[in-house]
Homo-oligomer: A and B are copies of this chain.
Amino acid sequence: MRYQDLISKDVGGAISGGLDSCTATAWLTEKGARAHCFVVDLGQPDETNLDDVPKRMLACGAVEAAVIPGQEALAEAGLQVIQSQARYEGGYWNTTGIARYVTTALIIRELEKRGIDVLFHGATGRGNDQVRFQLAANMLAPGIQVYAPWRDPAFIETFGGRAEMLAYCAERKLPVRATLEKPYSTDANFLGLTHEAGQLESLCTPAAHVEPGMGVWAWDAPDKPETVTIRWEAGVPVAINGEHTSLVETFHQANRIGGQNGVGIGVHVVENRFVGIKSRGVYEAPGMEILGQSYAYLLQLVLDRRARDVYDALSRQISTQIYQGYWYDLATTTALAALKPLLPLMTGTIVLRLYKGNIFFEGAEDTPHSLYSSDIASMERIGSFDHADAEGFLKVLGVSARNFAERQFQALEREI
């Protein structure tokens, strides 16, 4: 899709309010499109006043601009990420990925109300976000077209980089707040921050080069452990330190407690983008880390070996699906359904000890569906099976072990 297709048309934008948003909106308006700009309130930690954004966008030529409330939807989505432990390639809590779906779904609702059939966004032609916007929009509203200025030759030719955009905005006196220098790029919502590009592109730049936005680095955290108690009921965190709160507030509070102790600040991942390129990110997600780790401890109590096999495979699949843009498709729907029967079992109180970036296990209580039993686990003599039963157990296992020894082991020529 190219700008020529948008002349005299209403187009709805998923915008953040930054330099890209201003430039694209002004440029599209000049080209003859009528831009409706929507910024979704995801509790962006780096945005002091979200209500300023619509004013800026109107100043850039938008015919309409509004803030859409999205914190509750994001909290629900974030909870599903925790319930499925969907960390991408082992480390990243998928915080930007999951937020793209919330943004797309909420904005599409607005577009449909207004009969607008084009969605535009400012993601580049090399990243994952363009894929998420596109696939989510295609799945939720196949009749809506997606337009990305950064994939439009005319836009790219005009704007080679930040310098040209800043010049363009300055010339038109558009209310941008960006400056030329920016050491790296950050995407923000209350689930987490993702930092990438710029100086982070060199792998010689330490993760610690990032200035945290949701807390402090471990070395700047208090030199005193802090315990935090999280109460889970049927898979939902209903109280932190005994205080019952809404899910949104739970995330904010977990961010506060985690962030000030340096927890979840500065995770570095060189990851495989959907388009097959490796990229390097440094992540912050203090609340996800605390809630997620406490959920992981609860899972350790609830999942037997076979259930863990099923769970781990699904967790991995869900994580990839979120990352790659497939949150709404059949595979994700199927995999998420598998996690539903677990929820009634996921009740318990988990106590964590936080200390300068670390999370330690401090205790678990009131876990009615825990399979852990100190009686059963005890190595001492009395218990639920006779130690001598193990003799039979091992004799049974030994049959196949010896059969293997006699018929295959030597042929394998494996070093011992």
Contacts and interface: CB of A to CB of B under 8 A. Distances in A.
Given A397-B135, A412-B341, A300 B218 contact: no
Contact of A276 (B202, B223, B356, B400): B400
A206 B394 CA distance: 34
Contact of A126 (B269, B355, B387): B387
A369 to B, nearest CB: 5
A403 B275 contact: no
Contacts of A361: 206-207, 268
A360 B208 contact: yes
Given A353-B208, A372-B280, A364 B203 contact: yes
B335 A337 contact: no
Contacts of A321: 306
A223 B152 CA distance: 52
Contacts of A401: 134-135, 138-139, 142, 276, 329
A183 interface: no
A136 to B, nearest CB: 8
A301 B278 contact: yes
A126 to B, nearest CB: 6
A317 interface: yes
A146 B408 CA distance: 21
Interface string A208-226: 1000000000110001010
A331 B357 contact: no
A126 B404 contact: no
A408 B392 CA distance: 28
A387 B150 contact: yes
Contacts of A403: 371, 373, 376, 384
B344 A413 contact: yes
Specify how many copies of this chain sit in the oligomer.
Answer: 4
Nearest to A387: B125
A242 interface: no
Contacts of A300: 89, 269-271, 278
Contacts of A201: 374, 377-378
Contacts of A329: 304, 306-307, 401, 404
Contacts of A153: 388
Interface in A121-160: 124-127, 130-131, 134-135, 138-142, 146, 148, 150-153, 156, 160
Interface stretch (A36-44, A48-56, A245-253, A308-316): A308-316
A202 to B, nearest CB: 6
Contacts of A124: 379, 387
A405 B278 CA distance: 15
A69 interface: no
A400 B317 contact: no
A388 B125 contact: yes
A394 B328 contact: no
A385 B399 contact: yes
A399 B276 contact: yes
B391 A1 contact: yes
B373 A278 contact: yes
A388 B393 contact: no
Contacts of A387: 124-126, 150-151, 156
24 contacts: A124-B379, A125-B386, A125-B387, A130-B394, A139-B401, A197-B379, A204-B365, A218-B356, A218-B360, A219-B223, A262-B358, A275-B400, A278-B300, A278-B376, A279-B377, A304-B331, A307-B334, A309-B317, A312-B316, A325-B397, A334-B341, A344-B412, A369-B411, A393-B393
Given A208-B353, A358-B358, 15 more contacts: A125-B389, A126-B379, A127-B379, A153-B388, A197-B378, A206-B351, A219-B355, A272-B305, A310-B317, A328-B409, A329-B401, A330-B341, A345-B408, A371-B407, A388-B392
